[in-house]
Structure formats: C-alpha cells, structure tokens
Structure 1
Amino acid sequence: MRMEFYRPVNQVLQRYIEGYYFISPDGNSERLHYWTFPNNFFIVSVSRDIKIEANNNKITITPSLQENIIANFVSRYISPIEVLVEGSISEITIYFKPLAINYLFSNAHELLQMENTLDFIPFADFIPAMKRILLESDRTFQRQSLEDYWMSKLEIREPGLMESIVSDIESGLKIEDIARSNNFSRQYLNRLFTRNIGKPPSEFYRIHRFRKAIKKQKDIRNLTELSYESLFYDQSHLIRDFKQLTNVNPNAFFKKVDTVNANVWLFI
C-alpha cells in the first residue's frame, strides 16, 4: 500500500487544513503498521469497504466483504496511537488546524466534547461525496474534488478572539498573563479554550511545544539546546514530556522517526 501526504493547493484552505493523506493499494505490501503521536489537529478519516476496531490506543483496520464508507474523527489524545492496516484499503485522512472545525461544523462544540467517534456523518452529502472521491483514480482530480468539497462547507470569517488566544499560547505566554490581558479569570479562559479547542490550554501548549521540538530537531542535535529553543525549562523537562507523549526518551524517538517528513509517523 502507498501513503501519500499533501498540503492544500487552495490558499484559503491552507489557513484551515494542515494537510491530508491518501492510503491506496499499490500492488506491493498489503500491510501498514505505524504509531502516530499526539498533536493539536482535528483528524478526520474516511475509508472504503473496511472494518475498524479501536481499543486501548490501538486502531486495527481490515478489508470488509460488505461495501461501505466509514468515517471517524479524533480530536484529542495524549498518548501514542498504534495503527495496524491489514489488507489493501482506500482511505483519506484530513488534518484540520486548531479552531478550523468551528468554521465548518455547526455542532463543533459537541464534536470536541466527544473527542472521537467511529460514526462521523457531519453533512447529508458527506458520505456520497467522500465515496466519489475515494473511487476517483486520478490523484490530481481527487485532490481538487476533496478541496472543493471542504471549501463548499467553509464559513469564512475574520480571525477573532480565539485566534489571538491560540497565537499567544503557542508563543509561550503564561496563561495567567493571557487571561489578565483579556480581562478574564484563568478559570474562564480554560473553559473558553476547552469549548473551542477541545482541550485545556495547558495541554494544548504541552503538545504544541513537543511538536515544535520535533520540527527543530533536524537543525539542532544537542538536547540541551533543543530544550531551550523549544521553550522547555531544561533538558530533563523535555525528556519527561517526550516520555509521556511518545512512550520513549527523545534520543530513542529521534533515532527511529524521520522528522524531515511532512508528517511524523513511526513505521514498524
């Protein structure tokens, strides 16, 4: 099977979608086995003719003799998820940026409270549209159709308060200072953030800092320097977070994972 990751071509969608990948048969291996690590995206996967089983941070996907289209999403996880694909399948997975679903789905707050589901049908035309896209053999047309579909659902608005808060948190400002600058209590900021992002700001920043360290690692080989460049307190702080988010220490992680790739998976 073949897994190919793309960034959106549409410049408007680039604000809302980090990227998407296709899994498709290629006549070679019929097995994919990898780990995916915590991130702050809202991840939607759509597959054709499959059975899916999810439990204990492991997702197993196998072909089904019964024709179907199955869509699921994951909005929050703080431990690695093991993904095992046994047999040839067709799948599209989209990584929506933080806040993006608030511009796409009228029930975004409800979805974020669920954190994940194996039965995701956000629009009446969603399943038929995804089926047509999955059946399309021309990759260029397939990508265009996928991006056109999400553009048709997008309610474009000017960036507002939440975008400002997310930017402040990503830059490393203290939560107390952000709350104070907006005349909020810390408790209110936590509630507001969790309602719109699906997790508290402290968890969001911890994952953002972890992902920032992964991006910087290809240019910084020393863990001490990487710690400070990624806004960790020190090297032991970085090691502790990596162990909690990847189940291994950072040296072991970076030896096994190619951080130059557009997305970060550990293939087994």
Structure 2
Amino acid sequence: MKIKFYKPKNGILKKYIKGYYFILHDENAEPLKYWTFPNNYCIISVSLNTDVLLEANKITVIPTDQTNVSADLVWRYVSPVEIFYEKPVTEITIYFKPLGLNHFIKDFGDILRQNNIVQFNAFPDFKQEMEKILNYKERKYQIQELEKYWLSKLLHKNFNLMRNVLQDVESDYKIAEIALKHNISRQYLNKIFMKNLGKSPSEYRKIQRFRNSVATKKHFKNLTELSYENMFYDQSHFIKSFKNLTTLNPNAFFKQVNTNKNNIWLFV
C-alpha cells in the first residue's frame, strides 16, 4: 500500500506542522505493518471505527463494527515501535514539529507529564470535526478543512527562549555550555525541556542526530564521514547511539531502509 505524505499548504501551518498522511479503509486489503524509529515529532493519529491498543513497543489498530472516533498522541519513544493494522482503516496522521503542537493546546505541558495517550481529545469539537474531515470523499476538501481547523486553534505563545535553546541543542554545544550561555542551571534547562517537549535535552539531541544521519546518508561515502558530519565523537559513538535507537548497527539499518526516498520518516 502506497502512502502519500502531504506538507501543509498554509504558510502559517508550515511553521508548526511537518506534514500528514491519510489511510483509506479497505476491507479486502492485506494487514499492514511497518516499523517507525525514534523522532522528535508529536504525532496525532485519528481513525474511524477502530480499537487502538498502545503497548510499550507496538501500536495495534483493529477495525470494529462500532461507530467511533479514536485518537492517540505519541511524542516519546526511544526504541523501534511496530505499527500493525489488521486491515487498513480510515485514518489521518499528523506530524507536528518540535514545539509545534504547543502552539495549539493551552496546557500542553500537562499532557506531556503523562505517558503517550490513547483517546486524545484536546478540544471539545476535536473528534466531531475530525470525523467530518475523514468522511469527505475528495482529498482536496479533506486537506482544506483539516488546515482550516488547526488554524482556528492556533494560540499566540512566546517560545523565544525554548527556540534559542533548541537551536543550541541541535548544534555541537555541550549541555552545560548551553545552560551557561542562557544564564540558567542545567536543572532548569532539563525542566523546560520536559515541560515543553516531554524529553530531556540529551535525549532530544541523540534522536535529532540519528534522524539527521539518516536524512543525509546519501551524501556521504562512508560511516566515518557520516558520523563526523552529524557531530558524533567518532564512528564507535555513532554506532552505539544508532544501535540504542534502532537495535541495529548502521550498516544493517541502511541495507533495509532506502534513504533515497523523499519521505524517510516512514520506515517499512
């Protein structure tokens, strides 16, 4: 089954949303399974007439005869997660950039203090409007109404400090140097990361460098060049970090994942 990834058409939403994809219900299709690896996105999936089971390293989506709207939010995992559909269902999945979803939900920090959530329902009209969008027959209307809905929820928040700190964490500054640069303690730096992103600076950095290495693999001849370009200390550090996040060494991983694809956010 081919899945098309859409980037937001609206210029404002592009600041906060990486993109989204749709799945269509197909009673005659084979089960669908893929693996996804750690990332720094907040991911909302909404499906019609399903039961969704969220386990430690697996998300199972089961079609049901019961009419309902299921929604889940995932923002933190540090090992591969298996996504399994007994049958393809009617679904939309939205990828919010780091700090992106914070701009739509008033008390997002309260949500991040919980575990990944089944039955996510941030707004009184959320499930009702998502159901309408998923029931549109034409994709262009689905996209139009989806973007209109999220624009209606946009809040004006000041994340200047977090954005500056985030930029430094994505560089080669040491964590202690970042805290010193912004005149805050390491404990406070960790606190604002947990509050706004649901993970520590070091965890965020580790995942970001892994993702960058996957995205840039095709530009480098060997793992040594790739590891240094993505700010790993050396190749052994790169391999260790890679295995921690994927359970595979880089060579084995890249044999299974085609990094020449446009959308390598989805690893089958």
TM-score using structure 1 length: 0.95
> Structure 1 11/94 Cα, relative in aligned 2: closer, same or farther at 3 Å?
same
Aligned residue number for residue 173 of structure 1: 173
One-letter code of the match for 2:266?
W
Decide which structure has greater strand share: 1
CA separation of 1:156 and 1:59: change in aligned 2, threshold 3 A: same
Aligned AA (2:61): I
Residue pair 2:26, 2:87 contacting (<8 A) in 1 also: no
* Matched residue, 1:190: 190
Greater CA drift, 39-48 or 98-107: 98-107
How far the C-alpha of 1:21 sits from its partner, in A, is 1.0
Alpha-carbon offset, residue 157 of structure 1:
4.4
Deviations, residues 193-217 of structure 1 (Å, cap 9, x unaligned): 2111111100000000000101110
CA distance in 1, matches of 2:94, 2:78: 19
Structure 2 matches for 1:58-97, cutoff 5 A? Answer: 58-97=58-97
**Could you say which residue in structure 2 is the equivalent of 1:209?**
209
The equivalent of 2:164 in structure 1 is: 164
1:126 counterpart letter in structure 2: F
Q: Distance in 2 between matches of 1:115 and 1:54?
A: 10
Query: Shift of the alpha carbon at 1:54?
Result: 2.2
Aligned to 2:148: 148
**Count of residue correspondences:** 267
Say whether 1:265 aligns with 2:250: no
| Corresponding position of 2:125 | 125
Q: Which residue is equivalent to 1:225?
A: 225
User: By how many angstroms is 1:226 displaced?
Assistant: 0.2
Q: 3-state DSSP class of the match of 1:265?
A: coil
User: Which one-letter code corresponds to 2:84 in the other structure?
Assistant: L
* CA distance in structure 2 between the aligned counterparts of 1:234 and 1:262, rounded to whole angstroms: 28
* RMSD over equivalenced CA pairs, Å: 1.5
Matches within 5 A, 1:250-261: 250-259=250-259, 260-261=261-262
26 and 50 in structure 1: CA distance in 2 versus 1, 3 angstrom threshold: closer
Identify unmatched segments of 5+ residues in structure 2: none
Q: Deviations over 1:225-246 (max 9, x none)?
A: 0000111111111111111111
Question: Hey, what's the Cα distance between the residues in 1 that align with 2:2 and 2:67?
Answer: 21
Distance apart, 1:116 and its partner CA: 0.8
2:28, 2:216 → 1: CA distance? 34
Q: Write the deviation string for residues 101-129 of structure 1: whole angstroms up to 9, x where unpaired.
A: 22111120011111311111100110110
1:265, distance to aligned residue in structure 2 (A): 2.8
State the secondary structure of the residue aligned to 2:219.
coil
User: Distance in 1 between the 2:105 and 2:214 partners?
Assistant: 31
Partners of 1:237 and 1:28 in 2: CA distance:
46
Specify every segment of 5 or more residues in structure 1 that has no aligned partner in the other structure, as ranges: none
CA–CA distance in structure 2, aligned partners of residues 238 and 61 of structure 1 = 34
CA displacement 1:28-52 (0-9 Å, x = unmatched): 7332110000001111110001112
Structure 1 188/159 Cα, relative in aligned 2: closer, same or farther at 3 Å?
A: closer
SS at match of 2:65: coil
SS across alignment from 2:267: strand
1:257–1:264: 8 Å Cα contact kept in structure 2? no
Between the aligned partners of 2:209 and 2:30, the Cα distance in structure 1 is 35
The percentage of aligned residue pairs carrying the same residue is: 48
| Alignment match, 1:3 | 3
Give the partner amino acid of 1:264.
Answer: W
**In the aligned structure 1, how far is the partner of 2:56 from the partner of 2:159?**
37
One-letter code of the match for 1:143? I
* Aligned 8 A contact 1:2 1:24 in 2: no
| Separation of aligned partners in 2, 1:4 and 1:146 | 16
Deviations 1:5-30 (A, max 9, x none): 11111111111001111111468733
Q: Counterparts of 1:112 and 1:159 in 2: how far apart (Å)?
A: 16
